[in-house]
Amino acid sequence: MRRLLSGNEAVARGAWEAGVAVASAYPGTPSTEILENFARYPNVYAEWAPNEKVAVDVAVGAAYAGRRSLATMKHVGVNVAADSVFYASMTGMEAGMVIVTADDPDMHSSQNEQDNRRYAKFARIPCLEPSDSQEAKDMVAAALAISEQFDTPVFLRLTTRICHSSTAVELGEQVPQAPASARFPRNPTKYVMVPGNARKKHPVIEERMELVAQFAETFPFNRIEWGDMEGGEGKLGIVTCGVSYQYAKEVFPNASVLRLGLTYPLPPELVREFASRVDRLIVIEELDPFLEEEIKLMGIHCEGKSIFPMLGEFDPRVVRESAIEAGLLPASAHVPVAELDKPEIPPRPPVLCPGCPHRAVFHVLNKRKVPVTGDIGCYTLGLLPPLSAIHTCGCMGAGIGQAHGADKAGIGERMVAVIGDSTFFHTGMPALANVAYNRSNVVTIILDNRITGMTGHQQNPGTGYTLQMEEVPPLELEPLVRALGIERVKTVPAFDVKALDETIKEYLKAEGPSVLIARDECALLPSARRRWLPLRVVADKCNGCTMCFRIGCPAILKSDELDGKTQRPKARIDPSLCTGCEVCAQVCPRDAILFRAQVEA
């Protein structure tokens, strides 16, 4: 049966078909849908771990116990998990284990565009890269087989374009899952990486990679497609991988192509043979010159980043225009783009949704003009005007430590750190323990919207449900924060502007650390949607003072009506967008916006 599947759906299907029994992940665009889909297959265990490191350890534990396992994450998740990836490379395991790294060229939703093939080489683990959904599915089985044959975890490296493109896939049958071993392995020389054992293991993993390189020579996902040798166009040799293969085929239909499905380690003989039969060898790959460097290390001349960009994502146009510039294609290959005389187009930045429970906190922080170290989540959007309330955003879990560091450095202001609930469980907890232990005056605000919002509503330890929707006791923030050593803790409803303001004001003066938990559900959760009730502006009372515009709510619009005195547009509320959170009603100095009770009356 042929079905259109996204790369992520295909990886989930491939894992199920290949008998993966245990999967663990932390959500992260563009990888999130892999586990969401895998979790729906019968007889599998799938979970959201609090972070990527835990996810890799869980997959390792399952593979030690004899079952095929999977851990998935976005590229920067591998940074979090790196320590575990490196020991797993040393120990190997009893059953196949795949780590999916979903890289994000062009940073569609990330803070950097690191190329995680570097990790494969760094940690000595093989790396597979599919070029479409069919391969994304089939390579899961191939990766597990390599993992078992060579006793190593295997990377399956996707990119945003592979994850989120749908292509036709021929579905297969499920191979039976291996049962768990009766006994956990007691094999210290293999599984206890104390220096004495690790020293013995290091040469083994170096040798392993040489064996994988030999294996790569005949690995079916590495293949040469000879071009039109008669016509001469086949004399151009292209080495490529991943989605770049598609652009290469599109732009150079008659060239010879060495498509590498296993991009680390490379098959030296195959590359050498290919290179020897073409006149000019070029490498088409997104981001780093990874294949290019490997080929050059073999002493083979090739061109890559001197022709194609190292930054951002490719498309057929990028490849074609770069090729024309390098003389690989005639100028006549150029595809013209209309030179348009366009009016100015208003930017449409992502914004905090109407009814977002993060809004009031940022309104208060902006008003109090305090320095705020931020973190990653929907709430990062608090950086945008008119709220303009976030001053740093580095990586998940960084904000609390930054605030502590600035405080200890003797900065002349009180530091505030904001962090979402999921991010707090991810890497915020150790940083808050540090604030408590080493005593700084940091005010930490946990924005507890009861869900992992940014990546599209994943459960987390605080929500009371697992990925497979089992009901579990929620991890409660207040006792947790107290247990970390913070005595001053208060929970405030996230839409209560006055209570937030008073608490923040008090905490900014207090000696020692404090934590404010601002709690209310994400407005897009089904339970919150049921309470939506659009508010109204009483036009007679509004004088266009702009206070409500300054909370940055998409539901508040400038109406066509001007105030007689100020000549400023009055406010209007779009009933199709307003949820009735009442933040605007609270900041209105003229009581011109009706509260829910008034609207209902």
Partner 1 sequence: MNKSYNFLLAGVGGQGTILASDVLSEVALAAGYDVKKSEVHGMAQRGGSVNTHVRWDAERVYSPLIGLGEADVLLVFEEAEALRYAEYLKPGGAAIVNRETIEPITVTSGGARYPTEDEVRALYRDLAGRFHLIPGSALAEEMGNARAGNVVLLGALSTLLDVPAETWLEVIEGRVPPKYVELNRQAFLKGRQAME
Q: Which residues bind partner 1 (CB under 8 A)?
A: 2, 4, 29-30, 33, 108-109, 132, 160-161, 164-168, 243, 246-247, 249-250, 315-318, 320, 335-338, 340-353, 378, 381, 385-386, 456, 524, 549-550, 552, 554, 556-558
Exposed / middle / buried, residue 59 (Cβ in 10 Å: 0-12, 13-18, 19+): buried
Which range of residues in 70-78, 134-142, 158-166, 291-299 is near ligand TPP by CB under 6 A?
Answer: 70-78
Cα dist from 154 to 308, 441, 448, whole Å: 28, 44, 36
30 binding partner (options ligand TPP, partner 1, none; Cβ < 5 to 8 Å by kind): partner 1
Q: Which of 7, 50, 77, 461 binds ligand TPP (CB under 6 A)?
A: 77
φ, ψ of residue 14 to 5 degrees: the values are -60, -40
196 φ, ψ (degrees, to nearest 5): -60, -40
Q: Does 23 bind ligand TPP (CB under 6 A)?
A: no
Our CB check for partner 1 shows the closer of 51 and 165 to be 165
Strand partners, 321: none
Contact 55, 46 (CB under 8 A): no
User: CB of 217 within 8 A of CB of 267?
Assistant: yes
Q: Which is nearer to ligand TPP, 92 or 399 (CB)?
A: 399
DSSP state of 416: E
Residue 378 as a binder of ligand TPP (CB under 6 A): the answer is: yes
The partner in contact with residue 589, picked from ligand TPP, partner 1, none with C-beta cut-offs of 5 to 8 angstroms by kind, is none
Q: What tokens does 26 get?
A: 């932390």
Least CB distance from residue 393 to ligand TPP, whole Å? Answer: 10
Among ligand TPP, partner 1, none, what binds residue 160 when CB lies within 5 to 8 Å by partner kind? partner 1
Task: For residue 455, state whether it binds ligand TPP (rule: CB under 6 A).
Answer: yes
Among 152, 244, 322, 422, binds ligand TPP (CB under 6 A): 422
Instruction: Collect all residues with Cβ–Cβ distance below 8 Å to 599 and sequence separation of at least 6.
Output: 533, 534, 535, 536, 580
- Could you say whether residue 461 binds ligand TPP (CB under 6 A)? no
Sign of CA dihedral 205, 206, 208, 212: positive
Which residues, 148 to 177, sit near ligand TPP by CB under 6 A? none
Pairing of strands 69-74, 97-103: parallel
**Residue placing its CB nearer to ligand TPP in the complex, 17 or 375:** 375
Are 209 and 248 contacting, i.e. CB atoms less than 8 angstroms apart?
Answer: no
Q: How far, in Å, are 23, 85, 103, 289 from residue 100 at the CA level?
A: 11, 12, 10, 21
| Between 126 and 357, CB nearer to partner 1 | 357
Report what 396 binds from ligand TPP, partner 1, none; CB cut-off 5-8 Å by kind: ligand TPP
Per the DSSP assignment, residues forming a β-bridge with 303 are 282
Residue 492 in tokens: 């405030």
**Candidates 127-135, 172-180, 345-353, 443-451; binding stretch for ligand TPP (CB under 6 A):** 443-451
Please give the single-letter amino acid code of residue 291: L
Site residues for ligand TPP per CB under 6 A: 26-28, 74, 76-77, 80, 376-379, 396, 420-423, 447, 449, 451-455
